[in-house]
Structure 1
Amino acid sequence: MTMIDTLFGLIPANSRGQQWIADELQLVNWGGYDGAHRVKFSPRATLLCGGSGSGKSTLMDAYIALMMPHTTPFNGASNGGVTGRSRGDEQRNILSYGRGKLDESRTDEGTRVRVLRGDGEDTWTAISMTWTDHDGSQFTAVRAWYIPAAARIIEDTVRVRATVDGPLSLDALEVAAAQRLTDASVRAAGLETFATDREFSAKIHAVLGIGAAGAGAKAMSLLARIQAGQQITTVDELYKRMVLEEPETLATADAVVGHFDELEGTRMRMVTAQRQVRALRPIRDMRGRIEAAAEQLRLIDEIGRFSDPESLAALWGADRRLALLREVEAELQQEKAAADAESRTQQALASAAEAERDGLVEVLRNSGGDRIERAERDLSIVEKRLETVTEARRRFDAAIGQLDEDAATEKAFTALAARARDALADPGAKVAARDAYADARGATNALRASLAELADERGRTEGLRGNIPSALHEARALLADAAGLPVSELPFVGELIEVRTEFEPWREAFNLALGGFATTLLIDAAQLPQFRAAINELRVPTRLRYEGVHTGQARSGRLDPQRLPGRLDYRESPFTGWLEARLEERFGFVCVDGAEALGQHSMALSLTGQMSQGARGAHGGHGRANVLGFSNQRRLTDLADRLGELERRVVAAEATEQAAAAALDALDARHAAFAKISELTWDQIDVATLESERANWERVVAELIAGSPEIEALSAQIAALKKKIEGLQKLVGRAEEQQDRIATRWAEVTDEVDAAQRALDDAEDAGRALAPQHTEYLDDRFSAPPEGRDRSRADRLVRFDAALQSASKQLLDDQATAQDTLEEQRAHLRRALEGFLESWPNPNLRADPDSSLRDFERILRELETSGLHELETEWKHSLLKLSGNDLTNLDSTLSRSIREIKERIEPINRIMQDLPFYDDDHRLQITPRENQSEARRRFRSELREVRGLIGAATTDADREQAYERMKKFINRIRRTAPDFASLVDVRNHVRVSAEKVHADTKQHAALYDHIGEKSGGESQELIAFIVGAALRYQLGDADAERPRYAPVFLDEALIKADAHFTKRAIGAWRGLGFQLVIGAPNDKYSAIEPHVDVEYDILKDTSGRSWAKPKVGLPADAG
């Protein structure tokens, strides 16, 4: 690059006119510049000077409004204390500039803004800049805004972005402004319009050659920072704030975090879906059991009772019994035929034996056997009497066997009979035994009832929370259901408090002190009127107290542990704050060890439960059940103990009852025996006398027979036939009995068949019929299959009748079981729905099995259809893989960004190596130095470790470990992390300093690190060199002889340097080929003035209007 020495230092030989330079700035209605204004610029340097508030920065801001994006704030150099959004209501903005805002004043109607124009009427404003190229070509860019009177924000305006290849006077927009700057009217003025800022900026950057490869935005950003003239103390800060943009690592880290959060959010939705599926799946089984129980109840209700002849149950019984009766009838018919045949056979045999005997008797009589016959007849009479007396004696002996008495003689019998009559005549003997038995039985039944009630109480308590009795729980459920409130919104006081472990001995005392307050229902006071109206008509067996409470009160903090409220734990709820306050107010008893300390406090409570309130007090009531506590475990334990004690008492009572029953039975047996004894005489049981008489007659018959062998033989034959006839007659009798029995049974069965058939016919006439489901249910319950012990169809009928005897009870049991199942499953279902809504509240759902169950099932179907809950493992694997790729990219971006910072310094140093610094023998060079730290080293090491864990994970355990490590690492690179800037912003990884070197040898001469250590002039020269060289780089023509785009606006720069250093700073800018437009206050521009071609005084009159007055103007041929 060929350089020439000028007033401004060494500059490229062909710099003048060989680049785009700012030629003219035009304003219409911009800030204090009311109407149209023009400012012509020198191709080399122009000075704008004026007093504070005169309008210098307004001109500078016009350039910003034209060239910079809307995120660039106005007045950056003159007022560094602005806050809020760039160009927002709290800062200078297009609306305030367009209307010419002067100030604000407070009026009765509020704050009023005083403006030069647009107060209650429309106005417009416009800015244009014309640039000239080395060949005389010109290019103009225009921004204009039509501002309606009602406009409050920039979006309310009509915005114009336009360019023209050549010069332009903004007067050409007057006609378009009258038409509200419509696109057509602007185009009619010869301008090319653009719809967006992006298109407009792209056009300007392309024509003016700003930035390389479309990077004009970066160059304009640097120009904005240069114009703002931000206060900088170190070379490192200067380079990073003025030259370097936000590094790619920040966006990459944000992308990594965003990607991870997106994937993690989906995973959390999966986990939530899994939990929801687990929570909802049981409702299907519950619903199935509920429907099955309801169906069984419906069937039993339709079937009716077996005792009701009009019921389907009775119809089924008649139908099944008719079938069995017909089978029994057929069986009886067969038995009747067999019995008739057997009877005829035995009668024929008996008749034949009798005929044979009669013949032998006749022969015996003819042989002289009359005496034997008479003797045998008398013997037969005695034997019959003996049989009767022997049977009576057997019964008598059985009776006196229970009495432990002896009646072997007539005298002993007479005495026993007398005692029997006396015992039977005593009415009080049995009364005492009966009373003892009745008392024992009553005591046993009472204990059994208590045991059943307590067992039922335990069963209900197992499904509840806390120690409140189940009867109160059931009453609360009725009230909550009537009011349409979940039970959780109606807590008992006792459910919200628990005795702290260290104060457990005080539990009974606290229960006694709190009394009925512990079983008081609490309800939100806002819901109290509706609650009262809803329950007013409800009949509840158990009376409940309730109280409206203002919920959400703050808790009182630490309570005094010497008082009752301070010895309790409290469950977190909307009622807890109120409850603490109420307990402090009404139950703030000081807990004392003995009665002697009760009078020392206004409210006190002893360990035994005695309570004192001044001169009043209370004591007693011990043994009441505990109602305090979050858990029901203590109540279940207490119920178990009470059940055990009751069971032992029941066993003892049953033993007493059995003993009393045995005593009563023994007395009844004794009286029965006495009754039998009193009915007899000695002759009725005197067996010995008759046995002696029989022996005498047997001796007589034997003597008669022994006198004749023939008679002896005939007698023997007759005796044998007699025995045979007796046996045959018995068989005939049994056969006839069998015939009678069968006939009787047959008649009974026939009647039963007729009755069953009539019942079926009546049901058919009445239109009653069994449905298949009725028959199936009753067959399954009561038609048991034949067992091996059934010997006949009659046995099956007997078993069927026995089953029907208990069928009604079984139906009642089935009904009760089904009802219990229905209520239990509905309760389980309600708790499942309540649990779901507690975890995932939904105002559109209620925990009502009747109205909302289908909605919950729909949710479950949707969850199962989506399949989210089944993808966690696969998703975690994908999460690790994708996040591992993100971390790899972050690692490479960190390394690349540090390398790029160093690489970007090289072209800047090449530019500055040809520019004299300080004097002609020295040059300025930028030196980067990587700033290592242990924290960053560990950070990079951890990043690689996590990447390694992700890559090596093969099992679920490995992936889980890698996931947790990665999650912790991701939290370190979030913007909110305390060390985010230190670890991720690579600008902090490099320390930049400036070094003065000898031009020939490149040897080190001086180090420039802290700008604040240098004089104002030295600082300005240093800044000019570094920033100017960086700007050449950003503009994309660092290797060219001159920058393609020359204008650089410096607002209040170079005002702290003396003439020498100001000359060198301006020379540095000019040496880099830039055109300068410098703004400076009136009292600080003397050092700048000798080095500019054009100078304007910025003036403002008393009305707030500004204008630029040329002080040192351009030659006539320049303008």
Structure 2
Amino acid sequence: MNPFSQAELLGGSSDQFRLARIQTFNWGTFSNVFDFPIPKEGYLFVGPSGSGKSTVLDAHAALLTPPKWVDFNVAAREAERNGRDRSVMTYLRGAWAQQTGEAGEYVSQYLRGGTTWSAIAETYRDELGRVVVLAQVLWVKGNSTAPGDAKRVYLTLEREFDVQELEFFAKNEFDARRFKHDLPDAKVHTEFSAYQERFRRLLGIENERALRLLHKTQSAKNLGDLNVFLRDFMLDEPETFGIAASLVNEFGELNEAHQEVVAARKQIQTLVPARDEHGELDRVKLESNGLQAIQTAIDQYREHRRKLLLDERIAELEVDREGSRQETLRLASIVENEFQKLTDLQRQKLNMGADVLVRLEDDIKAAEAEKPIRIGKRDLAAAACEAMGWAVPDSVVWFVQRVEAAKQRVLKARDLKKEVEERKDGVKEELRKANERFQKVVAEVKALERQKSNLPARLVDLRERMARDLSIPEEKLPFVGELVEVRAEETAWRGAIERVLGGFARSILVDEKHYSAVSAYLNERNIGERLVYFRTIPQTSGRSPGPNSLVRKLNMASGSFGDWVREELKHSFDFECADTLQAFRNASRAVTREGQVKHSTMRHEKNDRHSVNDRNQWVLGFDNKEKLALFKQQAAEIGGRISELEETVRKIGKEEDAQQVQMLNCQNLSNLTWNDVDVGSLLTRINDLTLRLKAEREARPDLAALNDSIRKQEDAHSKAVGKKNTEDGKGQSISAEINRLKGKLEELARLWPTSDRPPAFAAQIAVRYEATEKAVTLESLDHVTTLVERGLNSELRTLESRLSDLRNSIVQRFADFNRVWPALAGGLDATLESADDYLAKLKRLEDDNLPAFEDRFFSLLREQSDQNLTLLTTKLDEERSAIRSRMELVNESLRTAPFNPGTHLVIDTTDKAIEDVRLFRASLKESLSHSFSNDRDLAEERFKALASLVKRLASQETADKNWRNFVLDVRQHVEFVARELDEDDLEVEVYRSGAGKSGGQRQKLAATCLAAALRYQLGGQDRALPRYSTVVLDEAFDKADAEFTAMAMNIFKTFGFQMIVATPLKSVMTLEPFIGGACFVHIKDRKKSAVIPIEYDSESHRLKLTQDVRDVEEITVS
């Protein structure tokens, strides 16, 4: 059956525009000009994947599809939506591969670099002879690959056209103004919108939606699910997404207004406490100032009070002094009477001869006073003699001899002391040197224990310090001595070799890597030592040491440093070890075992400052066991000697102490005379005087009674004098106190001139004095004042603390204000000096800003967001109605096309019960609730509900984006059910997606609906066939079976469409009956597409595939 017969029955096709020709120039991998003649019956682009079939079809898409919708190579990407790999620029440049760049990034490879241009064109014809050509010219200058740098011109013509007519464009340096000059009959456009308006009018395409459906159809792959097909191909994205986006965008203004309200409230909340605290600050300041004024007046009050107390005390003392004066006069009379009585008794005693007794009594008193002095000196002399080992002198001659001997000892002691001191100093000096030597030996022991080196501790420490400061391992700075040792069999020559190599062995080796750092380090500081170091530049000595050479008696360490040392020894220390003086004299350079060194024929050296065999001076060797043992032995010996010397010093010290004691005793003895120590003669005198006094008293028996009366009268007189003196002293004390107090008054008047009158606040201060509950006297005045001041200070400290807290709190609130709202702060400092400005801002916030912000917020909430919410709610309903209306139009087309013999399809639209959608509608309703209420609390609640909704609508989280896309896409809220009806509109079959129907049934259903939709969009309700009839499918059937492919093609043909299909070779047999020509597309070297025309047999409706085509297919696939 001819597939066109049914279409022709539906109405004539003479005014249908069908694609007749496709032309490309430098489009993708199709370089230069390619011309594809397209039969009106349809056309196949056959070829393997990646050959360039989609490239040709994308030229068709570029010509018909608005740039905002065009999506190249979609069929190849299928469901993969990670990004668009093709663009106008990739086709313009001829992108053919991606390679990894130097930085690891992917770099596209292009056929055409530099300034280049491309052109594409399609020719449409109808049976009435009319021709419409659509063409685009693209170009880019320079080396840019950015899609935005591609320039385009759109052309429409109503005549036949060949792309080679465009050669003028490149020849005129891509001057777009030349199009109107060189193609005067072409309509030239620089914007797609104007271009599409013209070609849609010429080709009979009523609206832009048809172009979008055609583009979607081009990439259609799976037509098996009715719901998916209708949503993706038949229905546009609902406007709810745009309204929701407007809601989100405009909510920003509303949210900003709300934030202004919130911010104003927070600003007020921040500053109101500051205002309250500022008022309290003023009150506390006033109270504090009052207390400070009282505190200032306290000193004057105290001194005024002191003057009053002094006046009172002086008045009291004047009375006391007068009473004391009267009492003193009375007691003076009594003293005079008692003295007269005593005088009378003493006169009687003199008349009885008592003067002898008085003289004897005085002599006895003097002798008794002398006795303890002589006894003390006698004991001192006895102790001195005993200490010197002498007997105590018992006669004047013996005493004088001992005194003379002591004087001689004192004279000799000076020389003896000098001799002992000299002997002690000598021992101490030896001890000092021993200690110094001991410290050095101990330091060497410690250094030797730390590492294997035999070098002196001072050099080892210097290297350790330098290595640490430079962060260089110590082994990278070896001493030469650490790399050389004398062979065991040559120990007899050890001392001589050490003497020759001593200086060299103490040198440090520095490699090239560390040379700069070491030289700079040593140059920048005083190291306190002599240090030689060698820069180890590689060297080779051509010398070969002789058999008795010093070099042959050594072992060298391995490694680069050891190699350098070996060469340096051969070059600089090739000394002959001479066993005899004759050999020594004959050699040019030599050394003897005794350490004599011959440096040259003239210069000789013998250095015996140290013995040649002094192992302390040896520094060579890979380890230091022998030297460590030697130094430990020396340390032990020196330590023993130090102990001996310390004991000698202690003994000499004891000897000095003994000499000092003897000298002191001798000095004490030499300062005495015999009369100083003669106690015996003094005792004899006292006894004689006592006997004489007794005899005189016995000669005057009446004198005893008189003496008793005199003693009693003396006591009476003494008591009277004592009372009189006491009272006299009392009077003097009172006078002195009066004078002292008057002096204080004078001083007070001088220091405090105002003390004669009470100060300000005297009453308040007096109350504070009384509050201490202490009696105020001259003695307690300062103490009570201290208590009052202490109380005042305590109150002031409390107030000052409160003031400080208030200041800090206010400043902190100002700082918080500045930190959170720096712009509003306007550069104000967060200080108390700015308080008036802040409080003025607070007043403006309360009186002006907050009300204005609230009015704006509630106004926007009513006027903007409520409008968007209402519009969104309305649009959700309208979109549902629009879906039903759209389906009705599709049903009109379906009624004109038989589905099965005697039947046609009708699509019903039913709502789905979806919980997320129900909750979304509920949230919209909640956000709109009370929208006409003036209650601001309710409005605040509405805002919170709206904010929650907008937050989710604006979220970029995957779950929220999925939710947003679902609840806003009304297409997801309905289910499409196809019903098959007979000629009487009776139901024959029902088709639901996934309802158990076969794949073929579902695919037939979807294909029928797609064809009907295309027919409706391209032909409307008034035409049996669409005026624009070309439909492009890019590998739509590569995975479908032959039955579905034939069925789908039949459906499209039934609706009068010209089918342009890209397909692999395997699907050709099924598609052959529905087209009128084909070509085979293949690619060379992955970057040069080529075309082989395939002859078509119109009688058998089959392609004549040549062996060449099959061979190319096999080569390309392989």
Return the TM-score normalized by structure 1.
0.49
The structure with the largest alpha-carbon Rg is 2
